[in-house]
Amino acid sequence: YLVNGISSIQGTVYAGSNCFHRRKVIYGSSPNDTKTYGSINNEDLQKLFGKSIELRESASQILSKSNSKMEIRRSPSDFTEAAIHVASCSYEYGTSWGTQVGWQYGSATEDVLTGLTIHGRGWRSAITSTDPLAFLGCAPTTFPSSLKQQKRWVMGLFEILFTDKNPLLLTIKGNIWFRQALVRSIPELCYATLPAYCIITGSQFLPKVNERGFLIFMVTQKEHRSNDGDNDSETDGRFTFDKSPMIVPGVVILL
């Protein structure tokens, strides 16, 4: 619901999954781009996209909004070899991949950095919900794996803060809307500093079991499914709150 709520500004930032990109966006274009890529010489295209002739022709066609088909001069096996060449680790050396083109380098969370760069160029994100659901991602299922992922996210976002791609600078120098740059920032910052503050001061911000505030968790309807092998539900062995109308407002009031 929160993602749908920020659609009125620039939409949600790309964060690694559950989406697809237009090729012209990945190729470094912007909505107000006035460059005529069809007139760029091969040397400049090579600096942008690398030595692959097929990729340069395809990128030039997309960025120049040309409807003409690529000239077929080779067999399908030649294009397969070109794809393998582009996918090699050394292909991007000496090109603009990672800076102007493609996923952005410089952070452990390259997906968020790429999403901020895309919004900084002026693009907007659109929300869609298909039936059946598409663009689904996977999440860690164990505590150690989840902890490692959270650590990587925190480190990556902290790195972005000290780059020229952070939301505040992109609002000044780029095209990120002011409301988009500050969405959730102040509440999330306060909430993120609470655990560290509690550790330093020896206090807590969540209720203990022997406190009255914990009654909100106790009186809400919960269901614990036992994993007896008779069903294959994803909620086996876990507490579920889907049937409790009190859990959401109760937790909100508590926090």
Task: For 213, list phi and psi in degrees, rounded to 5.
Answer: -60, -25
Cα separation, 252 vs 69, in Å, equals 56
Q: Looking at the domain assignment, is residue 187 inside a domain?
A: no
Range of the domain at 236: 206-255
Beta-ladder partners of 224: 239
**234 is written with which tokens?**
């994803």
Residue 103 inside a domain? The answer is yes
What pLDDT does 208 receive?
Answer: 76
Kindly state whether residue 77 falls inside one of the protein's structural domains: yes
Quick check: is 52 in a domain?
Answer: yes
What is the pLDDT, as a whole number, of residue 162?
A: 87
pLDDT of residue 250: 47
Phi, psi of 240 (to 5 degrees): -120, 145
Nearest-angstrom CA–CA distance, 252 and 245: 13
Residues 88 and 174 occupy one common structural domain: yes
Q: DSSP 3-state assignment of 102?
A: coil
CA angle 17–243–2, rounded 5-degree value? 35
List of the chain residues with pLDDT < 70: 1-3, 34-40, 66-74, 183-185, 213, 216-255
Residues 214 and 99 reside in one and the same domain? no
**Is residue 189 packed enough to be buried (19+ CB in 10 Å), middle (13-18) or exposed (0-12)?**
exposed
Residues 60 and 165 in one domain: yes
What is the rounded CA–CA span in Å between residue 173 and residue 149?
Answer: 31
Same domain, 160 and 227: no
Residue 96 shares a structural domain with residue 211 = no
Helix ranges (DSSP H) in the chain: 2-5, 23-26, 42-49, 53-63, 76-87, 110-120, 143-161, 167-173, 178-181, 185-201, 215-219, 247-254
**What's the confidence (pLDDT) of residue 197?**
87
For residue 241, the model assigns a pLDDT of 53
For 40, 123, 169, the CA distances from 109, given in Å and listed in that order, are: 33, 20, 18
Contact between residue 119 and residue 13 where contact means Cβ atoms under 8 Å apart: yes
| DSSP reduced 3-state for 182 | coil
CB 111 within 8 A of CB 118: no
Place of tokens 């500050």: 182
Q: Are residues 211 and 136 in the same domain?
A: no
Q: Identify whether residues 41 and 91 lie together within a single domain.
A: yes
In this structure, the answer to whether residues 54 and 157 fall within a common structural domain is yes
Same domain, 252 and 155: no
- Do the domain assignments include residue 217? yes
User: Do 34 and 79 belong to one domain?
Assistant: yes
Render pLDDT for 113-139 as a digit per residue (tens, 0 to 9): 998 899 989 898 888 877 887 777 777
Domain boundary among 147, 181, 215: 181
Q: Examine the fold and report which residue of 166, 181, 196 is the final residue of a domain before the chain moves on.
A: 181
Q: Are strands 239-240 and 223-224 parallel, antiparallel or unpaired?
A: antiparallel
Task: Please indicate, yes or no, whether residues 99 and 213 belong to a single structural domain of this protein.
Answer: no
pLDDT, position 72? 57
Question: Do residues 14 and 52 make contact, with C-beta atoms less than 8 angstroms apart?
Answer: no
Tell which of 121, 147, 181 closes a domain.
181
Number of domains the chain contains: 2
Query: Quick check: is 198 in a domain?
Result: no
The answer on 135 and 15 residing in a single domain is: yes
Find tokens 């939301």 and name the residue. 167
Please indicate, yes or no, if residue 195 is contained in any of the structural domains. no
The answer to whether position 200 is within a domain reads no
